[in-house]
Amino acid sequence: MKIAWPQGWKERRRAWHLRRRLPLYGLALLAALALHHEIFGADGYLAFRREQAIYQSHARELARLTLDNQKLHASIRQLRGNPHAIARIARRQLHLTRPGEIIYTYPKSSRHR
C-alpha cells in the first residue's frame, strides 16, 4: 500500500529546511567576516605584528642612542675635569707637540698581492 502524500509536501519540506538552516548560514558568514576583520583589518593581527616590529626596532635604536649618550657624557666629564685628557686629544688629533718634542709618523702599510 502506497502512502499518498499531500500535494506540495516536498516544497514545504524544502522551505522548512531552508528556514531552519538560513540563520546558521548567516551566523557562519558573520563569523567569517569577523575573523577576516580580526586578521586583516586596520587594527587586526597583521597590523599588530607590524607595529610590534616597529616598536622593537625603536627600542633597539633607543638602547643604542642611550649607550652613545652615556659615552659622550663620560667623555665630557673627563674633558672638564682632566687637563691631561685635553692635551692627549690635541696631540693625537691636531698633531700638536710640546716644546722640544719630535713626532715620528709612519706611512700606513699597503700590502700588494
What are the tens digits of pLDDT across the range 36-59? Answer: 999 888 888 999 999 999 999 999
What residue type is 63 in one-letter code? A
Residues of the domain holding 19:
10-40
On whether residue 34 sits in a domain, the answer given is yes
The set of residues, in sequence order, having a beta carbon less than 8 Å from that of 24 and lying 6+ positions away, is none
- Asked whether residue 50 falls in the same domain as residue 27, the answer is no
Q: Note the pLDDT of residue 58.
A: 98
**CA–CA dist 97, 102 (Å, integer):** 7
On whether residue 5 sits in a domain, the answer given is no
Kindly tell me if the per-residue pLDDT of 100 is higher than 60.
Answer: yes
Cβ atoms of 47 and 41 closer than 8 Å = yes
Closest CA to 49 of 59, 40, 61: 40
- Asked whether residue 88 falls in the same domain as residue 63, the answer is yes
On whether residue 110 sits in a domain, the answer given is no
- Asked whether residue 54 falls in the same domain as residue 32, the answer is no
- Asked whether residue 27 falls in the same domain as residue 47, the answer is no
105 or 6: whose pLDDT is higher?
105
The model carries a pTM of 0.53
- Asked whether residue 24 falls in the same domain as residue 70, the answer is no
- Asked whether residue 19 falls in the same domain as residue 48, the answer is no
Torsion of Cα atoms, 29 then 34 then 35 then 41, to 10°: 130
